[in-house]
Structure 1
């Protein structure tokens, strides 16, 4: 979405937008049922359709934001692994499972597997490959801080 297009649309259709917002606030304040949310969604959808923004553009923008956010979180998690490797604790579980915990990062995996599940500050970042040098170093350093098996 181009900001200039949105600015131009707002400048050309400011009266329609103001009327839609007045109706929207009136509906939200007066109508006290589920109907008000249906009307609000219809008004917002009508404005979006009228503005020329398609659902595909909205989906694409949401997808781009999601991808960017996940990339940023993965980069932050990797940086945190480097910083917190000395604080990480390696816990062996049953059946070859292990958990590595540091203040901000948690890694769960199975011995012999090339994949681990990474959680950063409570947010799952999915399955990562152990071929990553940073993860391999984090795991190796955490193994030096091994604790008793989990029960």
Structure 2
């Protein structure tokens, strides 16, 4: 909301001058956004969209002080949470087709169409990859545990 308030507080003359001077860049950014939204089918598209929007805002003359870094961090957190929610819903939806592989060295791998979990026997966290993109190490919570158990029972 703070970013929206900041944008709306500019007067009409400022916006008109900006649009007249930089209309070509805005049209290019809009075209890039439309292409990314239509072509890219992964969660990464929202990160790309965020970067394009932030790039246009920076180009328009906003500074980091104007944007307030808390707003930027909040945007990053929202993107991360969206990706995590999609990964967790994929865990629930793809549990029946999950495959468990014992790697023989005390580690295991659970794979589905969209997910890959790699962990060590007895550890309480796993490395999570969603559509080939690393989401880092996650604690083994109920959703992760149920995916691992379902993969073991699918053997």
What TM-score does the superposition give when structure 1 sets the normalisation length?
0.67
Deviation at 1:13, TM superposition (A): 1.6
With over 3 angstroms needed to count, the CA separation of the structure-2 counterparts of 1:65 and 1:47, relative to structure 1, is: closer
* Residue aligning to 2:82: 72
Q: Post-superposition shift, 1:15?
A: 5.3
Matched with 2:37 is none
Alignment partner for residue 137 of structure 1, among 133, 143, 146?
Answer: 146
Partner residue of 2:7?
6
Runs of 4+ in 1 over 4 A off after TM superposition: 44-47
For structure 1, the 5+ residue unaligned runs are 25-43, 147-151
Once superposed, what is the RMSD of the aligned Cα atoms? Answer: 2.8
Q: Structure 2 vs 1, CA of residues 109 and 46 (structure 1 numbering), >3 Å: closer, same or farther? A: closer
The 2-side partners of 1:73 and 1:45 are apart by: 25
Number of residue pairs matched? Answer: 123
Residues 83, 46 of structure 1: CA spacing in aligned structure 2 closer, same or farther, 3 A cutoff? closer
Aligned-residue offset at 1:47 = 4.7
Give 1:95 deviation, angstroms: 1.4
**For the Cα contact (< 8 Å) 2:125–2:138, is it kept in 1?**
yes
* 1:60 maps onto 2:70 in alignment: yes
Contact 1:10 1:17 (8 Å CA) reproduced? no
Query: Within 2, Cα distance between the matches of 1:84 and 1:101?
Result: 9
TM-score (norm 2): 0.66
Deviation at 1:7? Answer: 3.6
CA separation in 1, counterparts of 2:3 and 2:12?
15
Residue of structure 1 in register with 2:99 after alignment? 89
Structure 2 segments unaligned to the other structure (5+ residues): 26-56
| Residue aligning to 1:124 | 134
**2:3–2:71 Cα contact (<8 Å) kept:** no
